[in-house]
Amino acid sequence: MTSRRAFLATALLLASGTGLGAPAAAHKFHASFTTIEFNAETGSLEISLRVFSDDLENALSRQARRRIELDRTPDVAELASAYVRERFRLRRTDGTPVRVAWVGMEQRVDMTWIYIEAPAPAGFTGLEALVTVFFELFRDQKNNVSCKDAQGKRHDILFRPSDNTFKPLVPAS
């Protein structure tokens, strides 16, 4: 199985098992959940971003200045890709930006999974992130990022609207 297929299969498996939550219009907290895994075979980070679908529709509608519906708007993937590139940023510790590539998205009842990749030949070493998804919508938004290092240890990062600086994906050893 190719690496990309394995990534998508894993992403779909994760999405199908964790699509539980409150109805879209009723959620009382504002959060996104990101998982980042390093694929040594391809030298890339495989990134899965899980967001509430109604929040994504609101953000895309605001950005596009028209009503966006995830299941009806023909150019929704292009709009979501542009939004993610603006709001999910990676860079090297020297400030050099790391470009993320769109893989796709999948809508599940009240949650949407967004899949992106980024080149990272050295794994997490020297990489930082700034995740500002939905900060323009909610003052209580929290963006959780979870990474697993080469030893399998999990590292979590939390971004709040008051955060405006990049944070290391994995603490320096």
88 closest CA partner among 126, 7, 33: 33
How many angstroms separate the CA atoms of 54 and 63, rounded?
14
Instruction: Give the burial class of 69: count Cβ atoms within 10 A of its Cβ; 0-12 exposed, 13-18 middle, 19 or more buried.
Output: exposed
Q: Residue 109 pLDDT > 90, yes or no?
A: no
Cβ-contact 80, 155 below 8 angstroms: no
- Weakest mean pLDDT among 7-21, 28-42, 87-101: 7-21
What is the model's pLDDT at position 83?
98
User: How far is residue 126's CA from residue 143's CA, in Å, rounded to a whole number?
Assistant: 21
- Name which of 9, 106, 13 is nearest 51 in CA terms: 106
CB of 7 within 8 A of CB of 39?
A: yes
Question: How do the domains of the chain map onto residue ranges?
Answer: 3-16+32-168
The pLDDT score that the predictor gives to residue 148 is 84
Q: Give per-residue pLDDT as tens, 140-173.
A: 999 999 998 777 889 999 999 998 999 999 987 6
pLDDT the model gives residue 152: 81
Phi, psi of 150 (to 5 degrees): -60, -25
Radius of gyration of the chain (CA): 16
Question: pLDDT tens-digit profile of 43-79?
Answer: 999 999 999 999 999 999 999 999 999 999 999 999 9
